[in-house]
Structure formats: C-alpha cells, structure tokens
Amino acid sequence: MKKFFITITLFFMGFVFAQKIQVQRAAIAFFNVENLWDTVPSADYIDGTKDVKNPAFHRSVPLDSLQYLETTEVYKGEWSNELLVGKKVVRNQILADDFTANSSKNWNTQKYNQKMANISKVLSELGRQYTNDNPAIIGLVEVENRQVIEDLIKQPALAKSNYGIVHHNSYDARGVDVALIYQKGRFVVTDHYEKDIKIFNEEGHRSYTRGVLVVKGLLDGEKTAVFVNHWPSRSGGEARSYPRRAAAATVLKTEMDRLIAEDPSIKLIAMGDFNDDPVSPSIKKVLGSVAEPEQLSDKTPYYNLMTKMYKAGVATLGYRDAPNLFDQIIVSKNFYSPEKLSAGYTVFKTEVFAPSYMKNSEGQWKGYPLRSWDGDRFTNGYSDHFPVFTVMQREHKR
C-alpha cells in the first residue's frame, strides 16, 4: 500500500530535547464541479431485477439505446428504489438535450475534455501542500452520471491515485447526482447507500432532489463514514425554500445520529453544498452543528469546520451578488483533539481552495469563482464554487 508520511520535529523543555516523529496525513475534499455533463442525450434506465447497490440497477443510458432495452411498463408512480424493485422502466430527464452539440450550449467533446482537465487539475491540488498527495477522499456534486466520474478519474492528474467510485443515480428532476471517489489503497468501502430526501411543492406533489450519499469504510484502518450532500437550492427565495433544506438537514442528522448510536467509535464527516451558510438554521439548529470545539458534547457532537471562516468573511461562491459559504465540512467530535498530534486521525487544517487561476480577475465579479458557464457560453472556467478540504493527521507508529 502506498503511504505518505511527513517527518516533523517536536521540541520540549526550552528546546533542550528534540524528537523526530513521522506523521501520516489524509486530505478529505469536496467540490461542486458545476454541471459535469457528457455530450450524449440520455435517460435513466432502472432495472429493478438488479441489486440496488449494483450500478446497473439505475443507470444513465443514451436515448438511442432505449429501443434495445426491455421495459415492463410505462411507470407513473412515485420514483423510489423500493417501489421499482422487479420493474424495468425508463425515466426521462428534463435536461436530456441541454448539454449536447445540437443545443444552444454547443457542448462538444473538445469542451468536455477541457472541463475534465480543469476539474482534475483542481482536485489534484487540494491539500497537496500538506500531504504531497492527491486527496484520499473527494465528494463531488453536480455530476450527470457514473460515466463522467469514470472519465474524471482517468485524467492524468488523478489516474495515479487509483480512485474507486461510489455513485447512486438519483431521481433528481434535472438528472444531477452526488458521488464519492476514494483512493483504493487508503479507504476501504464496507457499505454505501443513499438516503432519500422527500420534499413536496405547494400542490403537495413530490419534488425530486438529490439524496444524502452515505459511504462507510476504513480510512487507513480507522472506521469512518462520509456523508455527501447537495441540498435543495434557494430557488423561490431563502425563506420560502428553507423547509426543503430543513428536511435535508433532518435526514442527515438522523443518519449521523444512528451510526454513532450503533458504534460510538466510528468517525463521521459530512460534506457538501448545503445551499445554506454555517449560521443558517438548517445547519446550526436542525443539524445542531457547533462553531467551537469547546461546545462539543454528547448532545452536540458535530463540529462545523467552516463557521469561523464564514464569520471572518470567507466565501465559496457568490449568490445573487452576495458572498456565501455554502460548501462546508462538518465532523463528529472524535475527529477533534486539543492535542496537536494523536494516535488516531484528527483535524489538522481546513481551507477553502481559491487560487488566483480559479477567480475572475476583473470586472463586476472580480474575486468570485471563475465559473464554467456564462449563460450558454462555455468560459473554459472551473466552477461557480470554490472547493474545500480538510487535512487529517495522526502519529505514525512504526
């Protein structure tokens, strides 16, 4: 197994004694990659005869291949994995033709490859100054399907890390999903599933959004669970849309609480584009995250690593011409230690990654993320969000 260690020197008693020890680090990152779509018009095909964790249970397929796939009915019911067991059905996407060469975006292979190169460059740099390695774990949102993730991890900047993929096609109305990639040599997946977030419009009809992706495993041997989130947007206004994010927060908290109750030793890390700031009620009250490690307790076990940054004016995006820190990382209290170095992984550094090349250099949006799209025009930018990462470290026992 490929491992990366850093040797540091600890000084004690007025620098009389010095002890060199090895430190092991792991970067854990999150990035909203802004509409990472392939160029092929597609639909969702659900084969309910497969196991729900099999990528073939619910997959994205080209529209011109549908004629070769068996269907059992034209499905009219609620979209959920449980209700589709045993059925073979097609679900159309409302953006099926948006990212194609024939659309107003003129989305083609050349632009797709450039977007891939841009995203992989950013991912390869997250935490590198502290680890000398690509991130051990990366959460991704706004990916269209598994194929684009497979293309991403084959990029030269990422291929050497031998990333695995956890992805569940969602029933999101736009067809965008959440996913996790992980270095197979450092994180061993033991279980994965997606928890539905059920929200409804004013007429009482269900509005389909992304679920919470839960991935359990061993990070360099330590029991860890990662929760990847892309909560409902603020469409319609912050206050009017708040109940949708409160519902998402409830789903996340319920699942985090459940895993801790089952095994208090497991370490939890929730990451995502929450479409709310660290001080918003969904994060602060419903999820119950705290801003300071001193506030951690059995009743409030979740530490938001981004709250201090938010209060200092740090942002990951501009929403309606105002800075926001929607992209956050929240950890369970056993990922924190007041000691600089512990036997198990604890938080070392947490940052928003915003190098100059990812920013607009002039004009009205100077300093804001250099996004990939200006309306239907591909800008050759990176994303409308800056990514975030945290670096965990522990003493390496030889």
Q: What is the pLDDT along the chain (398 residues), one digit of tens a residue?
A: 445 566 554 443 334 444 678 999 999 999 999 999 999 999 999 999 999 999 999 999 999 999 999 999 999 999 999 999 999 999 998 887 899 999 999 999 999 999 999 999 999 999 999 999 999 999 999 999 999 999 999 999 999 999 999 999 999 988 899 999 999 999 999 999 999 999 998 888 899 999 999 999 999 999 999 999 999 999 999 999 999 999 999 999 999 999 999 999 999 999 999 999 999 999 999 999 999 999 999 999 999 999 999 999 999 998 767 899 999 999 999 999 999 899 999 999 999 999 999 999 888 888 999 999 999 999 999 999 999 999 999 998 76
Q: Three-state SS for 107?
A: coil
* Calpha distance 119→125 (Å, rounded): 10
* Calpha distance 77→137 (Å, rounded): 36
Distances in Å between the Cα of 51 and the Cα atoms of 46, 302, 353 are: 11, 33, 38
Virtual torsion, Cα 292, 25, 133, 223, nearest 10 deg? -90
Distances in Å between the Cα of 380 and the Cα atoms of 95, 110, 113 are: 21, 11, 11
Positive/negative CA dihedral, 36, 38, 39, 40 = negative
Virtual torsion, Cα 112, 115, 117, 118, nearest 10 deg? 170
Find the largest Cα–Cα distance for the chain.
78
In this structure, the number of other CB atoms found within 10 A of the CB of residue 117 comes to: 13
* Calpha distance 274→277 (Å, rounded): 7
Distance of CA 82 to the CA centre of its chain: 24
In this structure, the number of other CB atoms found within 10 A of the CB of residue 9 comes to: 8
Map tokens 């419903």 to a residue.
286
Q: Three-state SS for 237?
A: coil
Distance of CA 106 to the CA centre of its chain: 27
Question: Following DSSP, what letter does each residue of 15-40 receive, concatenated?
Answer: TTEEEEEEEEEEEEEEEEEEEE--SS
Question: Following DSSP, what letter does each residue of 35-74 receive, concatenated?
Answer: EE--SS-EEEEEETTS-TTSTTTEEEEEGGGGGGS--S--
Listed in sequence order, the residues at least 6 apart from 107 whose beta carbon sits closer than 8 Å to its beta carbon are 37, 39, 98, 99, 100, 101, 378
For the stretch 183-213, what's the b/e string if a residue is b when 16 or more beta carbons lie within 10 angstroms of its beta carbon? beebbebeebbbebbebeeeeeeeebbbbbb
Whole-prediction pTM: 0.94
Phi then psi dihedrals of residue 123, to 5 deg = -60, -40
The answer to whether 60 and 168 are in contact (CB under 8 A) is no
Instruction: Pick the closest to residue 267 from 330, 360, 199, 359 (CA basis).
Output: 330
